[in-house]
């Protein structure tokens, strides 16, 4: 009968355990399966935006526009630094080190940042990806959350516990006490717990301090390696 149907364990994606997340040897000693960490990572991203936008899903060091940027004297050094960051990704994530990509519009900041997030996701790290306006809109939505949806505290906890938080267009929001409070709370929690951040901005430090607050910028400066990308807007290139 339907009421007597046994509830099945989800299958192990690696085919190593019975789906419980534990492997029991012949001596009845249990050890965690590799799938257990994968499920923990997936749980961290539940309720946050963790998928690359379609435009950036094929981004690669070997394909334009990044391959072109690597040959351009104005951006070659920045691409090399991003490559070094990706190659050292496990240690950077483990120590809470991040990247701050600063420059004017159309220089490739977002593309490089999306490449880093893609590499982190493919390496099994939990990642949350937001433009600043979208992130703030998502936070506002938690105030009216229906039953079963993430509350403000639930969303905040997910946002601050993922391995890498990627925020695009930092400073692209009208300044208000509420915006300052939200950004500081997120950055300060990740700063205190050694969680990496990846940010892009069109603003220099002084303007960014005026827009999002000195305390927030100071913490980001300590957490991140700053890479400057000033030059022509590639979107207007023929």
Tell me: the pLDDT tens digits for 88-128? 999 999 999 999 999 988 889 999 999 999 999 999 899 99
Residue 116 falls inside a structural domain? yes
Q: What is the pLDDT of residue 35?
A: 61
What is the tens place of the pLDDT at every residue in 124-163?
899 999 999 999 999 998 887 665 567 889 899 999 999 9
- Residues 40, 147, single domain; the answer is no
Among 22-26, 35-39, 189-193, name the most confident range. Answer: 189-193
Cα–Cα distance, 109 to 78 (Å, whole number): 10
**Best mean pLDDT range from 24-33, 39-48, 192-201:** 192-201
The rounded mean pLDDT for the chain is 85
| Residues 81 and 191 both lie in one domain | yes
Are 112 and 80 contacting, i.e. CB atoms less than 8 angstroms apart? no
Has residue 87 got a pLDDT over 70?
Answer: yes
- 26 and 111: one domain? no
Residue written as tokens 């039953």?
147
Question: Which residue range is the domain that position 34 belongs to?
Answer: 12-45
Instruction: Tell me how far apart the alpha carbons of residues 144 and 163 are, in angstroms, rounded to a whole number.
Output: 27
Please state the pTM of the whole predicted model: 0.79
Question: Quick one: 25 and 85 in the same domain?
Answer: no
For 39, counting Cβ atoms within 10 Å of its Cβ (0-12 exposed, 13-18 middle, 19+ buried), the class is middle
Distance CA(232)–CA(150), nearest Å, equals 42
Q: Are residues 55 and 139 in the same domain?
A: yes
User: Residue 196: in which H helix or E strand, if any?
Assistant: strand 196-201
85: left (phi over 0), alpha (psi -120 to 50) or beta: alpha
Considering the domain architecture, whether residues 78 and 189 belong to the same structural domain is answered as: yes
My answer on whether 89 and 149 are in the same domain is yes
């Amino acid at each position: 009968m339907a009421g007597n149907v046994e509830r099945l364990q989800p299958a192990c994606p690696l085919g190593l355990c019975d789906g419980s997340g534990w492997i029991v040897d012949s001596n009845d000693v249990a050890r965690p399966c590799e799938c257990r960490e994968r499920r923990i990572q997936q749980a961290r991203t539940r309720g946050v935006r963790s998928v690359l936008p379609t435009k950036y899903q094929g981004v690669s060091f070997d394909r334009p526009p990044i391959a072109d940027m690597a040959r351009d004297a104005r951006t070659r050094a920045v691409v090399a630094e991003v490559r070094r960051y990706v190659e050292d990704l496990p240690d950077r994530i483990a120590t809470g080190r991040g990247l701050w990509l600063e420059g004017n519009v159309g220089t490739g900041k977002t593309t490089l940042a999306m490449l880093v997030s893609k590499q982190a996701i493919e390496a099994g790290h939990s990642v949350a990806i937001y433009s600043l306006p979208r992130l703030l809109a998502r936070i506002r939505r938690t105030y009216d959350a229906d039953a079963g949806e993430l509350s403000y505290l639930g969303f905040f906890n997910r946002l601050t516990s993922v391995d890498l938080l990627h925020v695009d267009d930092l400073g692209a929001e009208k300044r208000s006490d509420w915006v300052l409070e939200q950004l500081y709370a997120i950055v300060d929690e990740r700063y205190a717990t050694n969680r990496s951040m990846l940010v892009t901005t069109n603003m220099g430090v002084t303007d960014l301090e005026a827009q999002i607050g000195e305390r927030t910028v100071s913490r980001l400066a300590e957490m991140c390696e700053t890479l400057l990308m000033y030059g022509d807007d590639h979107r207007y290139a023929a």
